[in-house]
Amino acid sequence: MNQNIIERLATFPIDSYDLQFRDEEALRDYLYTLGETEVARIGFSRDAQELYGLRIGHGKIHASVIAGCHADEPVGPMTAQILPKKIPQHFPELCDAFRISIVPQMNPDGADRNRDWFASPPDLADYLEQVRRELPGDDLEFGFGEGKAVRPECAAAQAFLKAHAPFAAHLSLHGMAFAEGAWCLICKEWAERGDGYMKAFDSLCTRMNFPQHDIDRGGEKGFTRIRDGYCTTPTSSAMKEHFIALNDRGLARCFLPTSMEWAQSHGGDPLCIVSELPLFLIGQRSPSLEEPVKVNLRNDLNKLRADSPRIDADAIQKIKTDYQLTPVPLELQVRLQISMIVLALYTILDQAIQDPQGEIGKVEPME
């Protein structure tokens, strides 16, 4: 990957105005200021909030981006909402090559339930006391497919995206509460072909002096380690197997295909990527893959929450000190998420150049 691309990703400006929570009204007003962006109302959430779809670029290679599936991960929607500004401004060649469909906020209801702790930088005590997340089985990321079980948010996204399927790339923007750095999930079909992408993102993290998270979950729920900083994307079948093994077949039946599996089902062999950036960076390093410090932190936090509904300030400070926890600036999280998207698109272009007779570049909209 050209080092000029890495340098542009490390230095393009991000305004503080871009880094904010937007409720339904604010998001609507913001989207209609985005210039040469197609904005469409695509449906409604469970609580009757409007859902939007965006399209940018005029190329014939199709890519898709969704954000906000998990209610307690605010940075993905921030990234997706400014993407229609940043790509044309700083990577205009991608608009020449791609037609990008974006659902910038999949879960406005869940975001509203978490808005009180959204801050820059986030506060650990506020997060622990106020965070709200959908229970397993009511997960928008594992909610794509057909039938009555599909939530209205996923149904709306599917109808909007399907018009431009198949895709050469699909990205679902997520986040983590705590991690030792950036973590990137790549569909297993691209685990080897994505080597150039991984090396480029490695280079960016080095340039940004930001570490990468590494963990080996041994294939649990579909998470199989590729190498330091990278893992395969989870799958609905592996998730079902996990809960069947726990003797919870009822919950297992609730898991529908992921957005990645849905994108793959429409052909095109897409490069599917899930971004995972931490709200709080764990400075204490894991001694080995078999002893992840994140597990110890989770156990300590669970105990802290169980002891009292109101978390003691001294106990919070001890956790921060013991694990060397620091909030990750929102600007850095957004930059890294945009970089994952941009590098994925350049990876697709590189493959098209290397294989001019291949399918990439021949993608046309479905009738």
Sign of CA dihedral 149, 152, 153, 154: positive
Token pair, residue 360, equals 């990439």
Q: Taking the chain, what is the end-to-end CA distance rounded to the nearest angstrom?
A: 35
Distance CA 194, CA 182 (A): 17
**Rounded (10°) angle between helices 293-307 and 313-323:** 180
Token pair, residue 345, equals 């698109």
Token pair, residue 342, equals 């941009």
pTM of the shown model? 0.94
From 62, 70, 48, select the one nearest 277 (Cα to Cα). 70
Q: Where are the alpha helices (DSSP H) in 209-278?
A: 236-245, 249-252, 259-264
Residue type, 102: I
Span 319-330, mean pLDDT? Answer: 96
Sign of CA dihedral 122, 135, 189, 170: negative
* pLDDT tens, residue by residue, 27-85: 999 999 998 899 999 999 999 999 999 999 999 999 999 999 999 999 999 999 999 99
Q: Which of 84-88, 136-140, 357-361, 362-366 has the highest mean pLDDT?
A: 84-88
- Please report the domains of the chain, with CATH numbers, ordered by start residue: 3-289+325-354 (3.40.630.10)
* pLDDT tens, residue by residue, 231-245: 999 999 999 999 999
Which secondary structure element, helix H or strand E, spans residue 164, and what is its range? none
